[in-house]
Amino acid sequence: MNRADVRAVENPISAIFDLADDVNKEIPRIRKLVKYATVFIGVWLIIDFILTILLIFNQFLLGVLMLALFVVGVFALAMLRNLNDFIRYYAIRHAAILRVRNDDPVVFAPKGDTAVLRLFELLRVRSPAMSEAIVARRYLMPGILRGRSGVLYSFDGYLGAKPSTLWRSLGLGYPGFQLMIKSFQGTPRAEDLNSLKLAAEDVSKDNLVPPSRVIALWSRKADQDLSDEAYSFLTSNQVVFSHRGKRFATALEMIIENEDGSYEFIPYVT
């Protein structure tokens, strides 16, 4: 780690990235320490519980002390869990920011007969998991999916992988993934985006697969522009899915294909 004067800043933006990179390099070591501490406290809690049972009837005060230590240990274990979740979130967030920083400033649509096909080709090139599913033709164009409410929803593009049986029953194992695309020719309104969000959530409740990506694909004309309400909805809402105590929150993203073939992303999802 650089031991230069911590107060000396030459370029604030590059300094922020450098600081984030320095922290990210320490994450594997910190996660290892958290893992060791978790195992140690877990073993101690088992021993402490046994001692509490043995002492509570014979030496009451000592038993109460061991019980208090047990409660403290449980809180420490919970805080370690929160710390591990934060570290994991930071590592993923840093990887996403790094990907955005290193990506091409302008992304152009690949060849394809329709906007949905062009987007599928872009995803095939940029995402290994989705590339495998696309090559295996595990997609629908269009796709009609049923929600938990019984309503049938139409998507212009759908790509998915089935979860394991263990995931469906216990929430363990491979959860699968699904990509949903809704194409818009006219300017999408906030109401349209909310309908897409609710449809994705309803379908996920029915098939028990987390919505990995939910995309509003807009083929924009030169005289069209997104309203402030629609932009605010995109940046402040997520598609949420819960199963067996696990919660997934996915950004509702808009990919805009301009007339010159360039893409715009709101927000940019790596």
Ordered DSSP codes for 186-233: SPPPHHHHHHHHHHHHHHHHHH---EEEEEEEEE--TT----HHHHHH
- CA pair distance 233, 194, nearest whole angstrom: 8
d(CA 185, CA 259): 12
Residue 121 to residues 111, 126, 130, Cα–Cα distance (Å): 8, 9, 10
Eight-class DSSP state of 127: -
Tokens for 155, please give them: 């998507």
Place of tokens 């014979």: 58
The single-letter code of the amino acid at 108 is F
Tens of pLDDT, residue by residue over 64-120, are: 898 999 999 999 999 999 999 899 888 888 888 888 887 778 889 999 889 999 998
d(CA 74, CA 68): 10
- C-alpha–C-alpha distance, residues 200 and 147, integer Å: 8
CB atoms within 10 A of CB 210: 22
Q: Give the right CATH number for 107-266 from 3.80.10, 2.60.120, 3.40.1350, 2.40.50.
A: 3.40.1350
Q: Is 241 exposed, middle or buried (0-12, 13-18, 19+ CB in 10 A)?
A: buried
CA distances from 219 to 27, 115, 253, 264 (A): 41, 7, 14, 11
Domain definitions of the chain by residue range:
12-102, 107-266
Q: What is the pTM of this model?
A: 0.75
Per-residue pLDDT at 137: 66
| SS3 category, 267 | coil
Q: What is the pLDDT of residue 4?
A: 65
pLDDT values of the chain reduced to their tens digit, one per residue, 270 residues: 556 677 777 778 788 878 888 888 899 999 999 999 999 999 999 999 998 888 888 888 888 898 999 999 999 999 999 999 899 888 888 888 888 887 778 889 999 889 999 998 888 888 777 777 777 767 788 889 999 999 999 999 998 888 898 998 888 889 988 999 999 989 999 999 999 999 999 999 999 999 989 999 999 998 899 999 999 999 999 999 999 888 999 999 999 999 999 999 998 887
Q: Which residues contact 168 (CB under 8 A, 6 or more apart)?
A: 208
Contacts of 8 (CB under 8 A, 6+ apart): none
Contact predicate 195/237, CB 8 Å: no
pLDDT score recorded for residue 96: 83
Which pLDDT value is given to residue 2? 54
The Cα 264–Cα 266 span in angstroms is: 7
